[in-house]
């Protein structure tokens, strides 16, 4: 199973049509061989959800700025031995939440910063950042000043349940 993951697209009806077309074309390239797309909220308008559903079957949760009816706040599905949860904003008690839902992977958004991070309670956290409104990571002493880049993530789970995930930087 190969998943294309994105979040925080913030596409509304008055968004620049050329930018929407450019983004869709880039998503068609980077998600060309995905089995499913996961959108972790703040898609905003149904027309954009329909656009990405033309690329691949799409699973989407409600973000704090969404105007689409019937989107769930949280969803859970399984691939191989992994239970995968999708939510827009991380819950306050992350460890308790992931144990309650028996998750091994939690996909989230809201921060607009990409993240691939394991936890000490054995849950992989994935945040694809934002392809339209990225935020730069926190500055760290000794490193160059970080730059905000538009990003998405791919997640591969092979027939042996071996997992690989990649942050993909899109063109501006």
SS3 172: coil
**Using an 8 Å Cβ cutoff, are 114 and 128 in contact?**
yes
Residues 139-153, mean pLDDT to the nearest whole number: 95
Domains of the chain: 2-169 (3.60.21.10)
Residues 56-70, mean pLDDT to the nearest whole number: 94
- pLDDT at residue 151 in the model: 98
For 17-37, the pLDDT digits (tens) are 999 999 999 999 999 999 999
Residue 172 has pLDDT above 80, yes or no: no
Q: Nearest to residue 2, comparing CAs of 115, 163, 157? A: 157
- pLDDT at residue 121 in the model: 97
Contacts of 42 (CB under 8 A, 6+ apart): 7, 8, 9, 10, 63, 64, 65, 66, 88, 109, 110
- pLDDT at residue 40 in the model: 98
Q: Walk across the sheet containing 105-107 and list its strands.
A: 74-79, 82-87, 105-107, 124-128, 114-118
For helices 17-30 and 46-53, the axis angle rounded to 10 degrees is: 30
- Full-prediction pTM beyond 0.85? yes
């Amino acid at each position: 199973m190969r998943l294309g993951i994105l979040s925080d697209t913030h596409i509304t009806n008055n968004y620049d049509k050329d930018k929407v077309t450019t983004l869709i074309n880039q998503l068609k390239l980077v998600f060309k061989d995905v089995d499913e797309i996961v959108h972790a909220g703040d898609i905003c308008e149904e027309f954009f959800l329909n656009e990405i559903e033309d690329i691949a079957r799409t699973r989407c949760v409600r973000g704090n700025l969404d105007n689409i009816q019937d989107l769930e706040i949280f969803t859970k599905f399984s691939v191989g031995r992994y239970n995968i949860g999708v939510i827009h904003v991380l819950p306050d008690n992350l460890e308790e939440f992931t144990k309650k839902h028996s998750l091994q992977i939690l996909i989230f958004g809201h921060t607009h910063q990409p993240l691939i991070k394991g936890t000490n309670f054995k849950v992989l956290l994935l945040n694809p950042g934002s392809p339209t409104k990225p935020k730069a990571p926190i500055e760290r002493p000794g490193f160059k000043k970080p730059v905000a880049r538009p990003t998405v993530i791919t997640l591969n789970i092979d027939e042996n349940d071996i997992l690989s995930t990649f942050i993909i930087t899109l063109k501006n």
